[in-house]
Chains A and B, each alone.
Chain A
Amino acid sequence: MIKEIGKYFMFLGNLFVNRESFKTYYKLVLEECMNMGIGTVFLVALVSTFIGAVTTVQTAYNMVSSFIPDYVISQVVREMVILELAPTIMAVIYAGKVGSSIASGLGTMRITEQVDALEVMGINSISYLVLPKIIASILMYPLLVITAGVCALFGGYLVGTLTGIISPNDFVYGLRSSYNEFTVVFALIKSVVFAFLVASISSYKGYNTQGGALEVGVSSTQAVTSSVIAVLIADYLLAQLLLAK
């Protein structure tokens, strides 16, 4: 375990050795942004809309006291969505979609000697292949989290108002009351950390694939598992660090 973590940090250290020109990375980062961002936005929007809807219904179900005003439902939904559901649950989905794709792509390149081909040309394959993925992930994931937050609140609003759980005015009032801007800042800080973890861990697992097609599948699974564990640990540490009183 310690050895593996050491190898991971050495891998990260190699990202900045013998880099290519800025122009080379610019094109690669744009390509990766398209793959990671545009390719994932539909899934993120779909999942977060339903999560927002379900959270609204379940919060209302738990509000048994008639002394609690209805707008508290959307207040609770807002806090849950911004603080946890949008950045963290989406990170799990992001790891499943983007992380596994990164690991299997790099793993296939490794076993078909495409990585060796880059090395023989004198190109630092870690820097060339992995750095653009990490940069693109850090750029795109916060945007996906913002999209997820908006969609989740929209899903909650839609279901809450259409089923009569809460009136439109109460829902909007709840969203706006006792609003603390730092929760959004906190969510964006989390999203940057999670984006880095998912992209770098998945790249590490994929890059170090050895064997054949079977091992590519194993690397892909390990990438998702390790990324999710790292995201959950980082989630706790960040909450402790930035929110604990």
Chain B
Amino acid sequence: MIKIQSITKSFGERVILNEISGSFEKGKPNLIIGASGTGKSVLLKCIVGLARPDYGQVFYDGRDFYGSDSEERVEIRREMGMLFQGGALFDSKNVEQNVMFPLDVLTKMPLNEKLDRVNFCLQRVGLENVNTKMPSEISGGMKKRVGIARAIVNTPNYLFCDEPNSGLDPQTSILIDELIQDLSEDLDITTIVVTHDMNSVMGIGEKIMFLYKGHKLWEGTNKDITHSGVKELDDFVFANKVMNSLRSK
């Protein structure tokens, strides 16, 4: 479980996150949603330590991330896997080398075991016979799946996904969402997904945090998101024509 307390972050005079608190549970996808520019990605960066909050704490299963020394923080980070918006695959390495990278650097596993693990992870995300392809030779959806395979190869306890569906067609988006949900359940890991895709929200949003202009306005599940009674959330949810037509019915 990941708990955040009073996360506050400003860039100059502009307050991006204002006293955000909450918890993210194990074994299911936890979604952080909101319109563009509300601070979702900044919050995720504060949680994983890519941006230090001005104020606030992050606890990984009770371990205070920012209260730890640098070596303890590295230990916590080695339990993380992250899928970046653009995949963030290493351009100079092929698919196999990309997925194997955390094992190469962080473990002393023999090569045959590493290869088995890489192939298992690639199969798990539905990719086969792409080991020798370079990132520039595969599609956006495949890059995301390779990114997920790399994120889970070292059996993380925490999985973070920043806009996993951006730039993907609806069918591939659903595949990625289902994959994230299955991995969260099967591996029993704490997963945080930042998204503004309503299909993801309705599909895998078992626990949702809604951000609006740097404030947490609502928390709940996809079952009660359509009748939250929060105007800003309704504006976000029903901006989609399909969702709006469902509301009319």
A and B: bona fide binding partners? yes
Interface string of B71-100 (1 = CB under 8 A from A): 100111110111011101111000000000
Q: Mark A179-221, 1 if CB is under 8 A from B, else 0.
A: 0000000000000000000000000000000000000000000
Q: Total number of A-B contacts with CB less than 8 angstroms?
A: 58
Q: List 25 A-B contacts (CB under 8 A).
A: A24-B104, A24-B105, A108-B91, A109-B90, A112-B88, A113-B84, A113-B88, A114-B88, A114-B89, A117-B88, A119-B49, A120-B50, A120-B80, A120-B82, A121-B78, A121-B101, A121-B102, A121-B105, A122-B75, A122-B76, A122-B78, A122-B80, A122-B106, A123-B106, A128-B105
Given contact pairs A120-B48, A122-B75, A123-B105, a sample of 15 additional A-B residue pairs in the complex whose CB atoms are under 8 Å apart: A18-B71, A24-B104, A109-B90, A109-B91, A112-B88, A113-B84, A114-B89, A119-B50, A119-B77, A120-B49, A120-B80, A121-B101, A121-B105, A121-B154, A128-B105
**Interface of chain B: mostly helix, strand, loop or mixed:** mixed
B129 within 8 A of A: no
The yes or no answer to B139 lying at the interface (CB within 8 A) is no
For chain A residues 94-122, which have a beta carbon within 8 Å of chain B?
Answer: 108-109, 112-114, 116-117, 119-122
A123 to B150, CA, bound (A): 14
B190–chain A nearest beta-carbon distance, Å: 14
Q: Considering only CB atoms and an 8 Å cut-off, how many residues of chain B contact the other chain? A: 27
How many residues of chain A get a CB closer than 8 Å to chain B's CBs?
17
Query: How many Å lie between the Cα of A108 and that of B48 in the bound state?
Result: 22
A119 to B226: give the CA distance in the assembly, Å.
38
Q: Which of A116, A121, A123 has the most CB of B within 10 A?
A: A121
Question: Is the CB of B70 closer than 8 A to any CB of chain A?
Answer: yes
Q: Are A116 and B84 in touch, CB under 8 angstroms?
A: yes
Contact A17 B70 (CB under 8 A): yes
Contact A116 B106 (CB under 8 A): no
Q: What are the 6 A-B residue pairs with the smallest beta carbon separation, nearest first?
A: A122-B77, A122-B78, A113-B88, A117-B88, A113-B84, A120-B82
- Chain B residue contacts of A120, Cβ below 8 A: 48-50, 77, 80-82, 160
- The listed residue (B70, B82, B160) touching A18 by CB distance below 8 A is B70
Across-interface contacts of A108 in B (CB, < 8 A): 91
Out of A109, A113, A119, name the residue touching B85 (CB < 8 Å): A113
CB distance from B189 to the nearest CB of A (A): 15
